[in-house]
Amino acid sequence: MIYPTATQTSDLSSLLDDRQFPDGICELVISGLSDDFDSLKNAALVCKDFAAMTRPHIFHTLTVRNRMLGSSFLPSPLLFRIHALLRDPKTVHFGKFVKTVDFDSSQFVDEHVSAMLFILQNVPTVSEIRMDLPRPEFSQAIGMNLADKLNELWIQSVYFTQPGSFQSFQRMLLSLTRLKFFAFTSWSLTSSDPIQDMNRALILPPH
């Protein structure tokens, strides 16, 4: 299959305006680009129809990973761009295209936490979440907004500094009624009562 180059954009747009290509053909072209993010962005510029068809692919996976700035790690600027889109009444519906959220909150400060919470509250069809060092607030947001949607939950590490955060995480797990896959590498609870901490058990969600 031959994909349009930048120089062919105006010609292709004219052909589409004349409806010489059925929607089904256009959708096949877009589907063939689903793993090529740069080509998807270029295709979205061809015409309004292509822009609409590419959105489910462009927004399918939201990845917010730390980036290096000198010797420090900072959260990805994508966090605030997505946050702004979901706050805009004209683009808030983009949230329904997000199916996977992958984020690392280890370097989050309050404004990052607030933005991530807002995102989790406005992606109603997410079925998979991958997160590193999640905050207690995220457990609450997932339990309240995605309990009946989430099929997969991957957690790199989770550390609890007080029993309340452990209990919040436990409630979130038990609320995930559609969860089919759950994995995490490690968890620990460190509070003022280490003896009681040693006797705590994490109850996994039922199959």
For residue 203, is it within any domain?
Answer: no
**End of a domain among 58, 78, 99?**
58
Give the tens place of pLDDT for each residue, 77-122: 889 999 999 999 999 999 999 999 999 998 888 999 999 999 999 9
Contact predicate 173/201, CB 8 Å: no
Domain co-membership, 36 together with 112: no
17 and 108 assigned to the same domain: no
* 182 and 100 part of one domain: yes
Residue 205 inside a domain? The answer is: no
What is the pLDDT, as a whole number, of residue 19? 47
Residues 18, 110, single domain; the answer is: no
**Residues of the chain where predicted confidence (pLDDT) is lower than 50:** 1, 15-16, 18-19, 45
| pLDDT given at position 203 | 79
Provide the angle, in degrees to the nearest 10, between the axes of the packed helices 23-31 and 48-58.
40
State whether 82 and 35 are in the same domain.
no
| Global confidence as pTM | 0.76
The per-residue pLDDT for 69 is 74
Rounded CA gap, 184 and 109, in Å? 23
- Position 98 scores a pLDDT of 96
The 10 Å Cβ neighbour count of residue 145 is 17
Same domain, 152 and 94: yes
Same domain membership, residue 84 and residue 40? no
pLDDT of residue 199: 65
Q: Is 193 within the bounds of a domain?
A: yes
Instruction: Please report whether residue 74 resides in a domain.
Output: yes
pLDDT of 175 reads 93
What is the CATH number for 193? 3.80.10
Contact present, 133 and 165 (Cβ < 8 Å): no
Q: Residue 7 domain-assigned?
A: yes
In angstroms, rounded to a whole number, what is the distance separating the alpha carbons of residues 24 and 49?
12
User: What pLDDT was estimated at residue 149?
Assistant: 94
pLDDT score recorded for residue 148: 94
Cβ(136)–Cβ(105) under 8 Å? no
Residue 114 located in a structural domain:
yes
Are 45 and 121 in a shared domain?
no
Within-domain flag for 204 = no
**Among candidate residues 43, 58, 73, the one where a domain is terminated:** 58
| The pair of three-digit structure tokens given for residue 3, joined into one six-digit string | 């994909």
**173 and 72 within one domain:** yes
Same domain, 135 and 166: yes
Task: Give the three-class secondary structure for 51.
Answer: helix
* Total number of domains constituting the chain: 2
Does 67 lie in the same domain as 23? no
Provide the residue range defining the domain that includes 131: 62-198
Residue 31 is assigned to a structural domain of this protein: yes
Where among 58, 74, 105 does a domain terminate? 58
Same domain, yes or no: 94 and 141: yes
